Every structure is written in C-alpha cells, then in structure tokens.
C-alpha cells in the first residue's frame, strides 16, 4: 500500500522544507563556529605556542634556535629638529638579539628605550632624516642605545617603518 502524492502536494512540501532546511543549516554553522572558537581554536593556538617555544630553545635536538628574538618599538612619533610641528617622523624600531634574556632586558627597559630613541630622532632635522644613507647611520646609533641594556650580546637594528612627513 503505497501512498503517492500529487505534484501539487510535493511542491507544497518542498516550499515548507526550504525555510526549515535553511534554519537547520544556519544553526549548524553557528554551533560549529561556536564549538570551534571555544575548543578547537585554543587547542591549535597552544600547539603553535609549543612549536615556537621548541624552536626558540633549539628544538628537540638542542641545535641553534630556528627563530630570532626581536623586540619592537612600534609607533615612535617625533617632530624633527627645527620643524616647529609642521613635520613629523613615524618609525618602528626593531631590535634583534641573540638570546631570550637580552630580549627580556629590552622589554623591561621599554619605557627608557622609547624615550632614548625619541630623543635621538627628534634631534635630527628634516634634511638629516631625508638624506641618503641616514638609515644606516641611525641603525648604528640605535644599536648603541640598546646595547646599554644588554649584557654584551650582539644587537641588530631594523627600521621597518620610517615615514617622514
């Protein structure tokens, strides 16, 4: 005893199923996103942290660290010497050190470093800051500032953002 539906009955059923199906799909996506956000995301984040920590410590075989230790001063903004507030310099200064102890020393001295870097940069005129080769000179002057806070470790300086306006 089969029951058959007429084409009109199938159309009515399909119309009613559309919104229900859409609601079910949206609800499944929301629940899936919530579970992923709550449980899967933190699991991936913590496993990524472990990999980075292992790389920094020389990996599981005790070799040289695979990644470098960089401390960055972002958003250093100064008015160059003689600009009377008409011009400004926006810079990011990054210090690459050889070990985590030196990185910690730089982090601990962030306020003093930021002040010393700003003082150095605001003593430069617009002509100085736009002169060819100034970035190399600044790198060595900034390295000397950072070296005061290190225990004799080597430091490299990068200027990934250097905008004079």
Phi and psi at 33, nearest 5°, equal: -65, -45
To the nearest whole percent, how much of the chain has pLDDT over 90?
A: 55
Q: Is the distance from CB of 125 to CB of 114 less than 8 angstroms?
A: no
pLDDT of residue 26 exceeding 80:
no
The residue out of 49, 67, 85 marking a domain boundary is: 67
Which residue range is the domain that position 7 belongs to?
1-67
Q: What is the DSSP letter of 162?
A: E
Q: Is there a single domain that holds both residue 113 and residue 91?
A: yes
The residue with tokens 């059923």 is 13
pTM of the shown model: 0.59
Q: Is there a single domain that holds both residue 94 and residue 155?
A: yes
Q: Is there a single domain that holds both residue 78 and residue 155?
A: yes
Query: How far apart are the C-alpha atoms of 102 and 57, rounded to whole Å?
Result: 14
Query: How far apart are the C-alpha atoms of 38 and 26, rounded to whole Å?
Result: 18
Q: Is there a single domain that holds both residue 51 and residue 87?
A: no
Q: Is there a single domain that holds both residue 41 and residue 4?
A: yes
pLDDT of residue 48 exceeding 50:
no
Quote the number of domains for the chain: 2
């Amino acid at each position: 005893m089969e029951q058959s539906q007429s084409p009109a009955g199938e159309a009515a059923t399909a119309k009613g199923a559309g919104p229900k199906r859409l609601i079910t799909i949206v609800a499944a996506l929301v629940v899936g996103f919530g579970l992923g956000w709550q449980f899967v995301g933190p699991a991936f984040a913590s496993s990524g942290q472990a990999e980075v920590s292992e790389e920094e410590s020389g990996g599981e075989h005790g070799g040289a660290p695979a990644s470098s230790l960089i401390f960055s001063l972002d958003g250093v903004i100064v008015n160059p010497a003689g600009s009377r507030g008409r011009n400004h310099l926006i810079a990011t200064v990054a210090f690459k050190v050889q070990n985590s102890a030196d990185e910690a020393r730089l982090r601990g001295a962030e306020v003093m470093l930021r002040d010393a870097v700003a003082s150095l940069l605001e003593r430069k005129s617009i002509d100085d800051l736009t002169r060819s080769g100034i970035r190399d000179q600044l790198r060595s002057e900034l390295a000397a500032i950072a070296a005061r806070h290190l225990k004799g470790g080597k430091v490299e300086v990068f200027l990934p953002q250097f905008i004079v306006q």
